Structure 1
């Protein structure tokens, strides 16, 4: 890519980064957060460190001007999302395997989230528990209005139920942070890789979906977790219950990924093309019980059975 074209492309990506940053003070903040790392990765992967800094300074200045009541909120968020973007961009430059890039980006984002939560709690006296309760109160406000004409619903929405739901949600925060962090890293890689390749840069790819296979030892971890979950349901609280409650969503997600890998493997063996397994993968995500296919794929040699020559 010639210098002039690279220069204008970099300016365009800086503008996109600014727009995504400004979206954080609008109702589109969730979408903005999911894609905010992408411009950073593209810019850091295609520019020198000095050029990258020169592009970031105007973005932060404009964000500070347009922030209004948000003040330093936007530049600080920009710095927050810049760090995992730099980590991933640096690894792209070194042509590090894609899975390691995603893991490093997700882990960096997770550590940052934990640090921000610690700072907010220690310095600004932020209460995560109170915040969760406030969010739940806002969410159930429409249900309270319906409860006025539905006695069965009013019997459910008791103060004890609200407290229990708040505590349960608070317990699931760790797994929620993990899933959110790695989701951002996966989305960033999925978008950045083809963009960088279209710009003429060589970028590592993930293995084809048909080759996705998790360690078989995950089955034993799952069985242990199920056993502990049974124990935890017997009114056992504290650290054990929290570990089980947070581990199960993660292992279920892992089995869903394994199921998707099996779907693509089967489709490739049947020569179905790529559209049908893509649709089936969406079905797997929308119907969680289908993850049992991934469990069976790990526990038994299903793929070897499918590819075994028939006599």
Structure 2
């Protein structure tokens, strides 16, 4: 028992040191700071996968404290978010959860930690990062307008268009932040799991993207949102309008992914080269409306069995 405690203490100190160094690099080395941030959860995740949760949380807290002492208080939000993410990832690996569970729990942890950081900035520093971002977007559009006017004599965006655009960005900010958090979690999980595997951990695997099937309940949510828009028509800017707009945004992204998954499945079953999948994925954005429809058909009907049967014939 004493040997195990000593081993846990030594390895915990090593992981804290590695985490602190990665945060130090992200704070002071301009060219590779993003790489350091992406792999910062790695030491905490490794430790969390090997030892109990309370010890992992203690290691994460110590790592955050040392980050403040070495990198300055400006790195506290990043240290908090990434250390928490490492604990969640490692805990999911230790409990032998599926990769989907690991991804979802990591995305939720990232989203909640970002929300906590946002509230802390507003409450203690009086800084609203969303308002600052919107002001920055407005300045960029105004500069683009001035540049276009000086070159062509016409502005790119009329004031009414610019105001409507910024209003839409502001209203869809919750959905944008949510999607961004889960996308960032996906990138971090995808990059760190192979390294954790090389370090001797048994890590879960995703099923191939072509076999992705979202829950059919997504269709019911989509129908509810459509009915609200068609029959209730919430007032623009009202709470219901904001909720419906953000839920619609997330559902569109999910259905587009489902549509792309079906295209990948079809291409794979037809024996086409993998390059065709990349072309189809690139065309998904300009054909987003078609992809949403394809995602709805794929979820609502057993189209894949038909494709599979035709392939066998």
- TM-score strictly above 0.5: yes
Q: Is the 8 A contact 1:98 1:205 kept in 2?
A: yes
State the partner residue of 2:45: 41
2:42/2:196 contact within 8 Å kept: no
2:304 match: 303
Maintained 8 Å contact 2:25/2:36: yes
1:293 deviation in Å?
A: 2.1
Secondary structure class of the residue paired with 2:259 = helix
Q: What displacement does 1:178 show?
A: 0.9
Aligned partner of 2:27 in structure 1 is 22
State the alpha-carbon separation in 1 of the partners of residues 174 and 139 from structure 2. Answer: 22
- TM-score, length-normalised on structure 2? 0.77
For residue 224 of structure 2, what is the aligned residue in structure 1? 224
Gaps of 5+ in 2: 1-6
Counterparts in 2 of 1:272 and 1:62: CA distance versus 1, 3 Å = same
Greater mean deviation of Cα atoms: 87-96 or 275-284: 275-284
> Alignment RMSD, CA only?
3.7
Deviation string, structure 1 residues 243-300 (Cα, Å, up to 9, x no partner): 1211122111111221232133223323346554355334435642342322221122
CA distance, structure 2, for counterparts of residue 128 and residue 266 of structure 1: 43
Q: Does the 8 Å CA contact 2:103/2:186 hold for their aligned counterparts?
A: yes
TM-score, length-normalised on structure 1?
0.77
Query: What residue is the counterpart of 1:201 in the other structure?
Result: 201
User: Residue 153 of structure 1 aligns with which residue?
Assistant: 155
Tell me the equivalent position of 2:211: 211
Moved more, 232-241 or 181-190: 232-241
Deviates more, 1:126-135 or 1:44-53: 44-53
The CA distance in 1 between the partners of 2:203 and 2:255, in whole Å, is 28
Residues 120-199 of structure 1 correspond to what in structure 2 (within 5 A)?
A: 120-127=121-128, 130-149=131-150, 150=152, 152-153=154-155, 156-158=157-159, 161-199=161-199
* 1:290–1:237 CA distance, 2 compared to 1 (3 A): same
CA shift digits 1:202-229 (9 cap, x unpaired): 1111222232111223223223323434
Contact 2:25-2:32 within 8 A present in 1 as well: no
| Equivalent residue number for residue 271 of structure 1 | 271
CA distance in structure 2 between the partners assigned to 1:235 and 1:163 by the alignment: 18
CA distance in 2, matches of 1:223, 1:78: 41
Deviates most, 189-198 or 32-41: 32-41
Higher relative contact order (CA 8 A, sep 6+): 1
Q: What is residue 99 of structure 1 aligned with on the other side?
A: 100
State the aligned residue count. 299
